Amino acid sequence: MIFAGMDLQGERLIYMGHTDSMFTKCFVPVLSLLKGIRLTCVFIDEPQRTVWPESPDYLLRIFIFWQRICNSVNKIFISYYWSVFCYQKSVELYFFKTLDDERLDALADASDYLLSAGIQTKLPHRFLMKFKKRALNFHYSLLPKHRGTFPIFWQKCLGDHDFGYSFHIITDQMDAGEIVLQERLDLNPGLPDSSICDLLTRHASFQLYRLFGDSATLKMQDETIGSNHTMLEYIDYVNVTFQSARFSMQSGSKRWIINQRYVLHTGDFIIECSIDGVIRKGFKLYIALNGKGIEIKRVNYLPAVFYFWSLKKLFAKQ
């Protein structure tokens, strides 16, 4: 019923995202219900950013091989799902490997709006200029605060619990375009980053109807309170050495990067240890220093035990 007042008179909208993202799962079904809109789904097959060790152990090599098979199978099934969904909803559907495909330019020439969500590649200026009205992007923060990468992570690190999301015009400068829609949510800061992101995405999906048409108003971002976060800043912030790891992990974030290759997720469980370094007790891993060990729950979002020998050799060199 929230879409009853929408009448875009056949204006064409391109949704651009990934087949397996939470954005797509929440946004596409809602966009397909907008009255009078001609929706086109464009899915970009961007490579995953998972970084594996240079010389993975035998157990990890088996897991990597198995994961690649699972990812390939999952991609086939989820692409089939969206193909069926779009067919039933009379939605145009396209799959592209890159943003340089000439067919994508032709689609943009014939479209009024673009809504991008989760795309990692910077969209070319020439491509954005092809849309007759607006090219929009979804971002997990109350812009202009926390532009760039991992906004929820930075909010938690900086003690900012004013959670929300923004839809903004895409410009050459990252997340700096005019704001079309912005909403605050009262969320528990103790929730995992992924849970906060999912809640924001679900809420945003029911506000999509407000983005289009002449009633949408634009608001310039206040540069005096703006903040930007890059991937390099993220790595510098969470990078730890063996000597500082245990103490740092107990006091701040529970996510760290070592050697720009290993993302460690740690817990609160501390044990007594007779030796220093990375130790294993059953299927649990600990990083120990001065007789105390803190649990490593996951490494690169996998069970930590897969990385036991890799981390043990890494810390032995330090």
pLDDT tens readout for residues 106-116: 999 999 999 99
Q: Do 148 and 281 belong together in one domain?
A: no
Q: Do 207 and 145 belong together in one domain?
A: yes
Q: Do 198 and 256 belong together in one domain?
A: no
Residue 260 has pLDDT above 70, yes or no: no
Residue 101 has pLDDT above 70, yes or no: yes
Q: Which domain holds residue 259?
A: 239-317
Average pLDDT, the chain: 80
User: 14-52 pLDDT, tens per residue?
Assistant: 999 999 899 999 999 999 998 888 999 999 988 766 555
Q: What per-residue confidence (pLDDT) applies to 114?
A: 94
Pull the structure tokens for residue 264: 């460690």
Q: Torsion over CA of 6, 8, 12 and 18, rounded to 10 degrees?
A: -20
Could you tell me how many helices (H) and strands (E) the chain has, helices first? 9, 15
Return the DSSP state at 318.
Answer: -
**Residue 255 pLDDT class (50, 70, 90 cuts):** low
Q: What per-residue confidence (pLDDT) applies to 257?
A: 62
Q: Do 101 and 189 belong together in one domain?
A: yes
Q: How far, in Å, are 21, 232, 300, 304 from residue 194 at the CA level?
A: 12, 21, 15, 19
**Residue 312 pLDDT class (50, 70, 90 cuts):** confident
Whether the Cβ atoms of residue 118 and residue 23 lie closer than 8 Å to each other: yes
Residue 172 has pLDDT above 90, yes or no: no
N- to C-terminal Cα separation, the chain: 61
Q: Do 305 and 190 belong together in one domain?
A: no
Residue 294 has pLDDT above 70, yes or no: yes
Q: Do 183 and 128 belong together in one domain?
A: yes
Whether the Cβ atoms of residue 299 and residue 267 lie closer than 8 Å to each other: no
pTM for this one? 0.72
